[in-house]
Structure 1
């Protein structure tokens, strides 16, 4: 998921609501969590899902502030 899609998701959420975002590829893994923090939201957890996936599939859990 790109940051634009993540931002659209966050805009539809109520404050305090959580969401799960799946990231694949090194650029989204680096940029999406950083950008979410810069907007003032909280990263609850980020977990690598597939160790055998060369693009690095990750699960990101966020909370809207």
Structure 2
């Protein structure tokens, strides 16, 4: 079952580490407990972005491989960014 996000950011048009910073900026706009859906390319983005957000204290709920070989990552904002 796919989770629904409160917000969406498509990072498929940028490369690492910009993918992480776009995701982080989108999370900053959310309230604690809200979910961000991040669309990522395979390779470095899908390997690094979920790991770094998890290290920041955010909760990764689900990672789905899409039909176009991209990934959708659903992240819950648990902590305020930069805290």
TM norm. shorter chain > 0.5:
yes
TM-score normalized with structure 2 length? 0.69
Aligned residues: 61
Which 4+ runs in 1 deviate beyond 3 A? Answer: none
Match of 2:62 among 45, 52, 57: 45
Q: 2:73 — aligned with what?
A: 60
Stretches of structure 2 that go unaligned for 5 or more consecutive residues are 1-10, 12-18, 79-83
Secondary structure (helix, strand or coil) at the match of 1:4 reads helix
More helix by proportion, 1 or 2?
1
- Higher RCO by CA contacts (8 Å cutoff, separation 6 or greater): 1
